[in-house]
Chains A and B, each alone.
Chain A
Amino acid sequence: MAGRISLRRLSGLIRKETLQIIRDPSSIGIAFVLPVCLLVLFGYGVSLDAEHVPIGIVVETPSATAQDLVSSFYQSEFIDPVPYHSMKQAEDAIMHREISGAVWLRSGFASDLLSGRQAPVGVILDGVDANTARIVDGYIMGSWYAWLSRYVREKRAGYLRPAVELRHRIWFNPAVRSRNFLVPGLVAVIMTLTGGMLTALVVAREWERGTMEALISTPVTKGEILLGKIVPYFVLGMAGMVLTVFLAIVVFQVPFRGSFFTLAVSSALFMLTSIFMGLIISIGAGSQFVAGQVAIVVTFLPAFILSGFIFDIGSMPPPVQAITHIIPARHFVSILQSIFLAGDVWPVIFRSWLWLMGLNLIFFLIIMRKFHKRLL
């Protein structure tokens, strides 16, 4: 394989790498400062929940019934109602993006309802942001149904009772806090940064500065050079993982339902794929600049977009879904979301472990074939 490994040489290389990491503020930045920034950003700043969405309420003829319905919107924490006198005004407000939609109670609403005729309620939504529009639609429907069932109960207006009633319950994340699934996914993104990006950059830096040329002309073996890079960055990445998980549980109050053992094994498997990818990139890239660019496109962006961290894989087109399988972060995100929100769901975890091990093997074979103690 890669020749015998001398512990003396390996420890010399690891010591060198450690000193470089300690003295280079940018590696500390990528390993520890960036994770904290990302956590704060995703924990507090970015939220996929729609809360306090301004919605126009147009009541053409005020009546007790209409007022009762409107007040139910006021009770919702998701909707901030804004009263308008005519639909024209509400439409203008939508055009100016002051409100995200409008509920329209026509002049005959109360009388139609009382007389048992159809009493349609108009809902207009700004569909530019399809995701928010869908969520807001749900909230309005929810408020509407809640009011209607209360109305039926109070007024004993049995003729209005719907034939089928929907009762729903949300599992794993009952409060539907998007933070609860974003923050565990971040662990994958952060480990990709230290594993993929940092490793690609530091190895490319050695080629760029000519230190690699001096290094490979010494009796050092290929295996020692590779291990000399893998060990320090593995430790660094795992440290970043521990920090992130600690902050997630303690500061962001994300539930943790699985076991730390599963987390440790999964993280170790994932960290290796990240470092291997970093090494492969640095073999092809001659400069830090190219390595950085390639690492962003090949490791960081897929970990962000195609891993299921933000965007649901199930709603991607089938070919894209197939592609996500070769992205290690996708498997790790599945494991993380399972461990944090559901517990050790072994079928999910085993399947993901197998994938990660398979990818590790492939990456390892590529490195052994492509990395030589040679220029070009």
Chain B
Amino acid sequence: MDKNSLVLEAQGLKKIFRAGDRTIEALKGVDVQVRSGMVTGLIGPDAAGKSTFMRLAAGLMKPSDGSVYVLGLDAAAESQQIHEKIAYMPQRFGLYEDLTVQENLDLYADLQLFPRTKRKERYKRLMEMTGLAPFMDRLAGRLSGGMKQKLGLACCLIRPPEFLILDEPTVGVDPVSRRELWEIVYSQVDQLGMSVLVSTAYLDEAERCSRVVLLHDGRIIGSGKPGDFSAKMAGRVFLLNPARKEKRILQLRLSQKPQVVDALIQGDRIRLVMSEQLEPDQVGSSLSLPDQIEITPVEPRFEDAFIYLLRQKGDTATEVREAENQGEDIGLGIHKPVQGSRTDVVIDVQRLTKRFGEFYAVREITFQVRRGEIFGLLGANGAGKSTTFRMLCGLLPPTSGKLLVAGCDMLTAGPAAKKMIGYMAQKFSLYEDLTSRENLEFFSHAYGLSGRVRQEKIAWAMDAFGLEKVAGVRSRNLPLGFKQRLSLAAALMHEPDVLFLDEPTSGVDPVTRREFWRHINVLAEAKVTIMVTTHFLEEAEYCDRLVIMADGTILDQGTPDEVRRRCSTEENPSPTMEDAFIFLIQREAQKRSLVTVE
């Protein structure tokens, strides 16, 4: 096909959803062009409108206004013809979990009228590509998340489509499978000249696309080659190396300066994005940094450009900025300083094991967390993070091993000890039909606060997290950023010494994520001990120390810099966190296969 012809063209595309008396404008009039024979990425945070766009393109919804043409066909009126030419993989791919891999393939081959005689050969090829050949008779429901996604992709590819639409194929998938999925997609593009539109919320995946379209809050905020975006940021990105214990305060102060686009903790250093091109020494003087801090220019990343674009466009970004710029106060007042020394061991886990029947969810893990540390628990889905977390919070009894939180065994500890910990669950676990204030009132009651103390505490939470203006809004209707602040405020009502955060930022846009981490950093400054799980490897950099888990065991632990250093190889001397993670997983797999051979 002609490289420059268009496989998709959307003009003034709008989609409005009505739920009761509320209307949600998912797409606010977008123009998108997708070229043939390459991978185009639709990049944007959750709730940006990506899935809506994909569904409109696949002819599964009718637009409220505007039009979208796919392969020259009107998606609103000629969806049946489009379905005969494209393949679409929805976000939660609809595999039949009670059918085997083979049966799922057969079903899709039948649906696509793929000739019986050619099937054997085609399946073989697809199973080689996806590595699923040994699992043909396994029920799809028993496959891991990554394998399910690969099978979904294989089902879409049985009869190679002219245009492949993938809606967030890599969400919740471990980094190894993520890489494999991209390899499969590229093999189709290279061999067959297939055109692909793929959506993702992971900004680092943008760089894998030939072209990207950036979607935010129902609007297009940019499009072009991913390299062009990063190139615009050249000369604006720097790494600083502050003294270790000052890095958080410095990062908090820097992120409030108007000339700073972004300041992020990255291991022991701070990654700084300036709003204009500067020489390293100009940066120091412009921000009046102390002389001993080294400033090194670094290569910009796609995420830097994305944040820059968002800050320019306003909305969420400005709102957060306003909250941040309330005087020189960097919000240190959100928690009273915790008593004790930073050398105290607050969480002590020794040879902890949890077995369900024959299955070891967690096997002999050992680690310690000190007061005021931000400690990360990293791993793919099913690595044992949540099980470990539940045991730490006293929600699940361990099979064996020792486990102390703030000197107590949480399983047998009384209410007094339980008051020492705060917990923020993975999903927004507040009552959606209650307003912000009512939620805080409820949680303060639940923690046994009453009378004047309770009133003061609620007033404090409202003030510290900037919730006054949404006090009367039902939490269902709050923007995601506010929901998270409210969850965090609720978990902090009783001023706990230890805070557990389970995947706190999954599905959050980068700006909201930064704002959330600002609060976490402030808490760590107040010597609150913070334990956080994440499958978001970028976030690992924000932690003081971390463990990397897979299949219930710890593969490595240490500071982010230590872990990365240990995983450097000759081919890749300065690996990213994701490289390190993949390195560790593959090394572990090799070890196991050696054991089996013996």
A residues near B, CB below 8 A? 3, 6, 8-9, 11-13, 15-16, 19-20, 23-24, 206, 209-221, 373-376
Contacts and interface: CB of A to CB of B under 8 A. Distances in A.
30 contacts: A3-B80, A9-B110, A9-B113, A11-B110, A13-B107, A15-B106, A15-B107, A15-B110, A19-B103, A210-B91, A210-B92, A211-B95, A213-B55, A213-B60, A213-B90, A213-B94, A214-B90, A214-B94, A214-B152, A214-B155, A217-B58, A217-B87, A218-B108, A219-B80, A219-B84, A221-B80, A373-B59, A374-B62, A375-B60, A376-B61
A213 B93 CA distance: 8
B368 to A, nearest CB: 42
Nearest to B139: A23
Contacts of A214: 88-90, 93-95, 152, 155
B111 interface: yes
Contacts of B109: 12
Interface string B49-81: 000000100111110000000000000000110
A12 B61 contact: no
A6 B115 CA distance: 13
Nearest to B113: A8
A8 B114 CA distance: 10
B279 interface: no
Given A6-B113, A9-B110, A374-B61, A210 B79 contact: no
B158 to A, nearest CB: 10
B98 A24 contact: yes
Interface string B460-499: 0000000000000000000000000000000000000000
B99 A219 contact: no
A219 B98 contact: no
A213 B97 CA distance: 15
Contact of A375 (B61, B96, B99, B107): B61
Contact of A23 (B59, B92, B98, B155): B98
B529 interface: no
Contacts of B62: 374
Interface string B103-142: 1001111111100000000000000000000000000000
Interface of B: 55, 58-62, 79-80, 83-84, 86-99, 103, 106-113, 152, 155
Contacts of B86: 217
Given A16-B99, A214-B94, A219-B113, A373 B80 contact: yes
Contact of A19 (B59, B87, B99, B111): B99
Given A11-B110, A214-B93, A219-B80, 19 more contacts: A12-B106, A16-B99, A16-B103, A19-B103, A20-B98, A20-B99, A206-B94, A209-B92, A211-B96, A213-B60, A214-B89, A215-B111, A217-B58, A217-B86, A218-B87, A220-B111, A374-B79, A375-B61, A376-B61
Contacts of A210: 90-94
Contact of B55 (A11, A16, A375): A375
Nearest to B85: A219
B89 A19 contact: no
B427 to A, nearest CB: 17
Contacts of B94: 206, 209-215
B83 A217 contact: yes
Contacts of B93: 210, 214
Contact of A218 (B91, B92, B97, B112): B112
Most buried by B among A12, A15, A24: A12
Contacts of B155: 214
A74 B140 CA distance: 68
Most buried by A among B55, B93, B110: B110
Contacts of B80: 3, 219, 221, 373
Contacts of B97: 209
Nearest to B100: A19
A11 B152 CA distance: 21
Nearest to B86: A217
A50 to B, nearest CB: 49
A191 B62 CA distance: 37
Contacts of A213: 55, 60, 90, 94
Contact of B96 (A8, A9, A16, A217): A16
Nearest to A224: B111
Contacts of B88: 214, 217
Contacts of B98: 19-20, 23-24
A20 B58 CA distance: 27
A373 B76 CA distance: 11
A74 to B, nearest CB: 62
Contacts of B89: 214
A219 B58 contact: no
B7 to A, nearest CB: 16
A327 B88 CA distance: 41
B156 to A, nearest CB: 9
A375 B92 CA distance: 14
Nearest to A24: B98
A214 B169 CA distance: 13
Most buried by A among B61, B98, B108, B111: B111
